[in-house]
Every structure is written in structure tokens, then in C-alpha cells.
């Protein structure tokens, strides 16, 4: 189970760039939740991280089953995670709400049977 490796790399880069610890935590917590979602639900995925002077923009693109009802998926406590994902300590239906909580802008688009694209931004100025 390798979920977290991408988030870990991004955290190291943000540290090197002297981004404030509070911002780093918000970015990597949101990213890690998104990374776990890809591992938990999708077949494959790609993560794009764009670090600008005023904001960090992240896109998580996956090939997977998609989300039939995004509004439902955003509700705290709603989850379709498998028992294996729950054994990892996830699947409590807190992922997407927590990503929203930690970011300044969040957008999610999904096509059932194709995949999901999650985009979020965190402003660098607190």
C-alpha cells in the first residue's frame, strides 16, 4: 500500500521552497486525501501540482468508476469504500469534505465509467 508517496514528495518540495508550515499542512492533507481516494477507488491516476508565487494548484485525474452523485459524495459520512480501504484507516466519508475544508477553491467533475477530476487551490498568502 503506497498511498502517500506523491503527497510526501510534494511536501518535501514545499518545505524546500520555504512555504509556511500551516499552508504546507493544508496542501498535503488535501492532496493525501485525494491520493488515497485514487488508490481506493480508481484504476489509475495522475497528479499535477503547479506551484506559483501566490497559489498552489493541484489536479488529480483518475481513470476509474467515477462518482454517480457528487453531492452525496461531498456529504460527511457518505462512503462507498471497500473493507480493505477501511482497514487502512480510511473510508469514513470524510475525504472530500476535508479537502474542501483545507483548500481555498475546489472543483470536482466526474463521468461514471470513465473517471474523476478533482482540482483544488490553496492561496500562499495566509
* Cell numbers representing residue 85 in the block: 480501504
* Cell numbers representing residue 2 in the block: 503506497
Q: Least Å distance between CB 34 and other proteins?
A: 11
Q: Least Å distance between CB 84 and other proteins?
A: 11
- Reduce the DSSP state of residue 58 to 3 states and report it: strand
CB atoms within 10 A of CB 62: 23
Among positive and negative, which fits the CA dihedral 52, 58, 61, 67? Answer: negative
Q: For binding to other proteins (CB under 8 A), which residues are involved? A: 1, 3-4, 7-8, 11, 21, 25, 28-29, 31-33, 36, 87-95, 98, 101
Among residues 25 and 46, whose Cβ is nearest to other proteins?
A: 25
Distances (CA, A) of 81 to 70, 87, 93: 15, 10, 8
Among residues 22 and 53, whose Cβ is nearest to other proteins?
A: 22
Q: Least Å distance between CB 114 and other proteins?
A: 26
Among residues 84 and 112, whose Cβ is nearest to other proteins?
A: 84
Amino acid at each position: 500500500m503506497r498511498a502517500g508517496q506523491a503527497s510526501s514528495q510534494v511536501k518535501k518540495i514545499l518545505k524546500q521552497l520555504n512555504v509556511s508550515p500551516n499552508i504546507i499542512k493544508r496542501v498535503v492533507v488535501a492532496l493525501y486525501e485525494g491520493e488515497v481516494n485514487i488508490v481506493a477507488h480508481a484504476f489509475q491516476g495522475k497528479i499535477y501540482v503547479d506551484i506559483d508565487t501566490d497559489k498552489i494548484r493541484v489536479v488529480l485525474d483518475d481513470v476509474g468508476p467515477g462518482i454517480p452523485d457528487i453531492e452525496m459524495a461531498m456529504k460527511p459520512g457518505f462512503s462507498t469504500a471497500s473493507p480493505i480501504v477501511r482497514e487502512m484507516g480510511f473510508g469514513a466519508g470524510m475525504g472530500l469534505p476535508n479537502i474542501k475544508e483545507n483548500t481555498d477553491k475546489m472543483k470536482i467533475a466526474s463521468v461514471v465509467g470513465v473517471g474523476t477530476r478533482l482540482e483544488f487551490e490553496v492561496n500562499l498568502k495566509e
